[in-house]
Amino acid sequence: MADHKLSSIFLVFATIFAIANAQGLMLDYYKTSCPKAEAIVQRITKQYVGHVPNFAAGLIRMNFHDCAVRGCDGSVLINPTPSNNQTEKTAIPNTTLRGFEIIDAIKSTLEKECPGVVSCADILALASRDAITTINGPWWEVPTGRRDGKVSLESEANALIPSPFSDVTTLKQNFAALGLSAKDLVVLSGAHTIGVGHCFIIRSRLYNFTGNGDSDPTLSPHYVEWLKTRCPPIASDSKSFVFMDRITPKAFDQNYYTMVTQHRGLFVSDATLMTDQETKSYIETQVKTKGSTFADDFAVSMTKMINIGVLTGSQGEIRKTCGAVNQ
């Protein structure tokens, strides 16, 4: 067991240094320029997530959606303006994102502590990690030094963010385009162990899957009936939601995988993971071993994800506020 932990720790740090060194990021980047930066991020994140634990799921999702479009550059945070009223924030996959107020609160505090130093991209990467640890999930190192992007387009977000309606072949292609593997796909999907899914996304699975008023046959019939009690067949209803992991909805554990093996994966993108041998094998192993490697695996995959396409050095900018590019 000790050897397993040591090997996992080694793998995490090997991944960190290989990626960070290649892209110009480093641990403790703000040690001299803003010594309290990471402590401020952690303190404010814990305040919010401690009060509303579901913010942890919101921040992880926001971080992934940011990194999937133009890399991890904080472009998902940019608000629409008269000159650009269609930013990533207004894209269909991002209309249900939560946690922007946390990033704004952190940025406001940091601008008072050390103006123009800490990027919004770094804030999002750090806050996502701190949110997960606040709910007793895994911890991973976050090398910093990211710069903020200046471009944010709704069309790119709609095209590039993996869809909850996609099959596993498409999802693997999406992740490969980001430099992530099939294992990263199934590991990061495990974040669905926390948070909620909105009913409007699954309504067709429940009420009209093939256009004949039927339900998705790959869903457990008992689960379908339960979901129907939470998700009425009202097309205009955009607010109803259900927990992604009905077993332990507020715990960061392996029970999302248990749900998937029981044909209770909420989205098509969850259920489809059982149709690929590699992703299916990982899921079944985590269920059988009660998530023996899930936390370590998640840390490694997150370390890879938060370093996708980062801007460093003189690239991009350090925004004064996270919701707007500098003028």
Binding site for heme b: which residues? 192
**Annotation: binding site for substrate:** 162
DSSP secondary structure letter of residue 273: G
Cβ–Cβ under 8 Å, residues 316 and 148 = yes
DSSP secondary structure letter of residue 241: E
- Tell me if residue 65 is catalytic: yes
> 149 is written with which tokens?
């992007």
Q: Which residues pair with 163 in a beta bridge?
A: none
Write phi, then psi, for 162 (nearest 5 degrees): -55, 140
**Annotation: binding site for Ca(2+):** 66, 69, 71, 73, 75, 88, 193, 245, 248, 253
Contacts with 273 (C-beta within 8 Å, 6 or more apart), sequence order? 168, 185, 186, 189, 260, 265, 279, 280, 283
* 239 burial via Cβ count (<10 Å: 0-12, 13-18, 19+): exposed
Contacts with 49 (C-beta within 8 Å, 6 or more apart), sequence order? 55, 56, 59, 102, 130, 131, 134, 135
**How far apart are alpha carbons 70 and 205 in whole angstroms?**
31
Cβ–Cβ under 8 Å, residues 24 and 312 = yes
Which helix (H) or strand (E) element contains residue 243? Answer: strand 241-243
Task: Using the structure block, give the residue that is written with the tokens 């579901």.
Answer: 54
**Annotation: binding site:** 66, 69, 71, 73, 75, 88, 162, 192-193, 245, 248, 253
Q: Pick the catalytic residue: 65, 198, 222, 263?
A: 65
Amino acid at 96: T
Distances (CA, A) of 246 to 56, 243, 265, 273: 17, 6, 10, 18
**How far apart are alpha carbons 20 and 301 in whole angstroms?**
14
Residues known to be catalytic:
65
